[in-house]
Amino acid sequence: MATDIKAIPVPALKRLPSYLRFLKKLAGTGRDVVSCTHIAQDLRLDSTQVRKDLELTGITGRPRIGYIVSELITAIEEFLGWNNCRDAFLVGAGSLGAALIGYTGFRDYGLNIVAAFDADTRKVGALVHDVEVLPVSKLPELAERMHIHVGIITVPADAAQEAADLLVSGGILAIWNFAPAHITAPEGVIVENVHLSSSLAVLTARLTETQRVEK
């Protein structure tokens, strides 16, 4: 097999967006060259780690000088696939769904939510931040016709698997799941979970720990 390239480490992938943010801020100030040390200092990371992470994107720097800021921004964006926008469907037009639709920052991440779907007929037809809410029954056909590859799930936990199945039946290739539920999808379909409970667990466990120690 020719595809014997090493898998991209997830922790590295998760750090790239913060580099991008920093670099864009830097570009705004007119700086056109940056070193790993500089990035690492701002983000409180190890400079070797930053260098290895940047290496993933295929960029090369110059000893003594560093990296060209604009080149680096382009390299990261291309590596993440953020350089050209992807259209996405969202299932579950509740308050979280509305918040995601309303967040304009996703454009920077190459994501564009073009339609929302809801099982609740009372929500169908409404406009959420200029995005129309459609009945879930229309999803599979529309996804196929519009060549949508990304689906976002913002339904309650007990409807999450159903929403996932719906997206899969429409030929979606990647699911961004915000529902507090474990969902399964066929081999080949990417599932990325945003489990707020996991994040909160880290926070509360640490807090409980420090408060236990202090007493």
* Interface residues toward a copy of itself, by CB under 8 A: 3, 8, 10, 13-18, 21-22, 42-44, 79-82, 86, 94-96, 98-99, 102-103, 105-106, 109-111, 149-150, 157, 173-174, 176, 180-182, 184, 188, 190, 192-210, 213
CA 60 to chain centre: 26
Task: Candidates 48, 83, 169, 184: give the one binding DNA (CB under 7 A).
Answer: 48
Residue 52: how many CA atoms within 13 Å on its side-chain side?
A: 12
Closer of 43 and 174 to DNA (Cβ): 43
- As measured in angstroms, the least distance from the Cβ of 33 to DNA is 9
**Residue 26, amino acid:** L
Q: Restricting to residues 52-81, name those near DNA by CB under 7 A.
A: 52, 54-55, 59-67
Binding window for DNA (CB under 7 A); candidates: 39-47, 160-168, 175-183, 201-209: 39-47
Task: Identify whether the C-beta of residue 90 lies closer than 8 Å to the C-beta of residue 129.
Answer: no
Task: Candidates 24, 31, 32, 37: give the one binding DNA (CB under 7 A).
Answer: 37
Task: Candidates 16, 23, 36, 116: give the one binding DNA (CB under 7 A).
Answer: 36
Strand 127-128 relative to strand 131-135: parallel, antiparallel, unpaired?
Answer: antiparallel
Please name the residues in contact with 91: beta carbons below 8 A apart, sequence gap of 6 or more. Answer: 97, 116, 117, 118, 136, 139, 151, 152, 153, 154, 155, 163, 166, 167
